Copies of this chain bind each other. A is one copy, B any other.
Amino acid sequence: MGQIYRNFAAKSHTMSLLVIGSVAFDAIETPFGKSDRIIGGAATYISLAASYFSNKINLVSVVGGDFPVTSIQMLEKRGINTKGLQILDDEKSFFWSGRYNNDMNTRTTLVTELNVLGTFDPIIPEAYQNCEYLMLGNLSPEVQLKVMERIRNRPKLVAMDTMNFWMDVALDDLKKALKKIDVLIINDEEARILSKEYSLVKASRVIREMGPRYLIIKKGEHGALLFYGSRVYFAPALPLEDVFDPTGAGDTFAGGFMGYLAQSGRVDFDNMKRAVIFGSAMASFCVEKFGTARIENLREEEILQRVNAFIDLSQVDIDLTA
């Protein structure tokens, strides 16, 4: 077999993936230390993670004139097409600053400056029009809807992330967006708020009735659940010595997940399961250093080793068929 490995190495058959989301500055404090103002943003993490699987990553986002050209070059060096990255010279990039608590699961937002993101008009370059897969990173549902309207041919697969904030201030638009997508990727807290159900099994049913056929519920250090029809798949998170910085882990998961799907070109439950493992593997790298540092320069061999660690962690030789 080994088809996955071969596909993984040979990216020329990959589907194109359009990624929309923030490209931004973050300043992060954790119990382990404090970062400078570093680059972050959902679309940054998603694109970087996906770039290990596909050489057809098309980025749509917006930054200000303060955004370092070296960071754009870093994205381009990873094969990410930045033609759709608007640069508004006279404005400032989105900025977020936060502090993680000792448990590394909860954080306090210190500063949010929307800046260019406040008026973001997502322009889709003509060259991106025939994208096959679409990943809508966490943004206002209004912008997410606009993106879907502006793509002339519906992509083969549309995945979306969102957050609590939009459930509070833009639920109607969020519900409109949910009707148009295939995969929703959110965390357990968000799933409970969106569905008004505590049981994630019940929540998954309520949310899938809102539109998406596939639902992924991320549970942080407790792994991720994939729901489809009556089927459920659970992927653990890798037990780690230390989580250095969780920022971007969820987006990195989404990027690895969509990148793997784009690379393999197949959308079915069994392949989604594999994509969840690859997404989890990418996220497990992300938390090892501040910001994007760890996922800017991974070797394919490292990724495969990590995926193997997930397989060792979760797979068992058991046979009940006799």
Size bracket of the A interface? 35 or more
Interface flags, A305-322, vs B, CB<8A=1, else 0: 001100111111111111
- A277 cross-chain contacts in B, Cβ below 8 A: 316, 318
Q: Quickly give the copy total for this chain.
A: 2
Do A240 and B201 have beta carbons less than 8 Å apart?
A: yes
CB nearest to A197 among chain B residues? B241
Q: Which of B201, B241, B312, B320 is the one whose CB lies under 8 Å from A308? A: B320
A219 interfacial by beta-carbon distance below 8 Å: yes
CB nearest to A8 among chain B residues? B320
Taken together as a complex, chains A and B put the C-alpha atoms of A241 and B197 apart, in Å, by 10
On A, residues with C-beta under 8 Å from B are 1-6, 102-103, 198-202, 219, 222-223, 225, 231-234, 236, 239-242, 270, 273-274, 277, 304, 307-308, 311-322
| 26 A-B pairs whose Cβ atoms sit less than 8 Å apart in the complex | A1-B319, A2-B321, A2-B322, A3-B322, A5-B319, A5-B322, A6-B322, A102-B198, A199-B241, A201-B241, A222-B222, A223-B223, A223-B234, A223-B236, A232-B239, A232-B312, A234-B239, A236-B236, A273-B316, A274-B318, A277-B316, A277-B318, A307-B318, A307-B320, A311-B320, A314-B316
